[in-house]
């Protein structure tokens, strides 16, 4: 009987995640994806929607890496460029964001970033979107165009999914080192041509837990999400998740 009660409690605690908690977790995760993957404004909004849809559909242990996880990955393929998606898959805290525990779910992103640390303002859809774009049929995101940043030095020119070819229009200057590891053997990357905006506006990118890639778009037509003036609490329900592999 005790085992049965425990199993029911676990299932209920995950299935009962309220919309407000799910959107705050989706916002925190998407903000860090924007920071590390150099998302543009249109990408940021789409990534938030995709993350929220996924979290709203996680109700059992099987859902963590089940159908809706695969739908999330499918949708992100349309939104991210090739080099961004490669980095996404290589980042455990992004690729496998939810961890099932004996008390419900925790979030891998908190093993890398402290709760409340935000880099960007909320996307406009944070107020209006309540889920439903990710579904079992064809991807909602395959029918839309997203500004995609050029790849940073060392990635070469890649064709973006379903959006034609984006060529590397600007060179990148090396001006020092990241304090927490230098991505791809490069230092700080500052666009020397084009009028694109970097997400953080700071040459040295030091996430509160570990070193992020922190590359901004170098394409003049790709606009980054607006930067927040300081830290903001997300109201998240889990402040210290533990990452793990499937």
What would the mean pLDDT of 199-210 be, rounded to a whole number?
40
What would the mean pLDDT of 28-40 be, rounded to a whole number?
98
Res 229: pLDDT? 64
Reported confidence tier of residue 77, pLDDT bands at 50, 70, 90: very high
Reported confidence tier of residue 95, pLDDT bands at 50, 70, 90: very high
What would the mean pLDDT of 90-114 be, rounded to a whole number?
93
Res 8: pLDDT? 38
What would the mean pLDDT of 105-122 be, rounded to a whole number?
95
How far apart CA 192 and CA 218 sit, in angstroms, is 8
What would the mean pLDDT of 218-240 be, rounded to a whole number?
53
Q: What is the pTM of this model?
A: 0.63
Res 40: pLDDT? 97
């Amino acid at each position: 009987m005790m085992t049965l009660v425990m199993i029911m409690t676990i299932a209920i605690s995950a299935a009962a995640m309220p919309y407000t908690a799910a959107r705050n977790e989706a916002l925190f995760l998407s903000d860090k994806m924007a920071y590390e993957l150099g998302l543009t404004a249109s990408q940021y909004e789409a990534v938030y929607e995709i993350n929220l849809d996924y979290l709203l559909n996680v109700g059992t242990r099987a859902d963590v890496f089940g159908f809706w996880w695969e739908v999330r990955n499918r949708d992100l393929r349309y939104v991210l460029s090739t080099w961004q998606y490669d980095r996404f898959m290589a980042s455990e805290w992004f690729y496998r964001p939810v961890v099932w525990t004996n008390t419900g779910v925790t979030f891998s992103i908190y093993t890398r970033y402290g709760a409340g640390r935000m880099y960007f303002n909320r996307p406009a859809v944070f107020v209006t979107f309540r889920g439903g774009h990710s579904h079992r049929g064809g991807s909602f995101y395959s029918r839309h165009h997203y500004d995609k940043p050029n790849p940073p030095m060392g990635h070469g020119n890649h064709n973006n999914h379903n959006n034609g070819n984006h060529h590397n229009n600007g060179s990148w200057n090396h001006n020092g080192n990241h304090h927490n590891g230098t991505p791809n053997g490069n230092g700080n990357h500052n666009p020397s041509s084009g009028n694109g905006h970097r997400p953080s506006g700071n040459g040295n990118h030091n996430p509160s837990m570990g070193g992020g890639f922190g590359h901004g778009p170098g394409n003049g037509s790709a606009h980054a999400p607006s930067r927040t003036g300081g830290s903001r609490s997300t109201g998240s329900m889990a402040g210290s998740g533990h990452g793990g592999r499937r």
